[in-house]
Amino acid sequence: MITFCEAELKVKIIKAMAHPVRLMVIEFLQGRECSFSEIFKLFQLDKSTISKHLLVLKESGVISARKTGRMMIYKLEVPCAADFFRCANSIIKDRVNKQLQCLCR
């Protein structure tokens, strides 16, 4: 059994990932490093909004950033996030299948 402190840390990480923009950034960064401008191009949001989302992910330890010249380069620090997404996709598929079964009866 985990301690309350461990549970709080896990909740912080889950909350950091619990936003559509941040989930998309995590998936985009899987297996590669990307500059801020590459990430910014994914969304129709202003730069400050993207920066805030990246900061949340960075503060939770999910991503890291390094400066190269004038560019900020972001990297996924936890490749196991892909496992989390696979698990979430399995749950979604299971729910959809159950709902379809109910509709077909």
Task: Give the up-direction half-sphere exposure of residue 84: CA atoms within 13 A in the CB hemisphere.
Answer: 14
- How far apart (Å, rounded) are the C-alpha atoms in residues 33 and 52? 18
68: left (phi over 0), alpha (psi -120 to 50) or beta: beta
User: pLDDT tens digit string along 17-66?
Assistant: 899 999 999 999 998 999 999 999 999 999 999 999 999 999 999 999 99
Chain mean pLDDT for the chain: 90
Per-domain boundaries in the chain: 4-78
User: pLDDT tens digit string along 66-105?
Assistant: 999 999 999 999 888 777 778 777 888 888 888 778 877 6
Q: What CATH fold (topology level) applies to the domain 4-78?
A: Arc Repressor Mutant, subunit A (1.10.10)
What pLDDT, on the 0 to 100 scale, is given for residue 46? 95
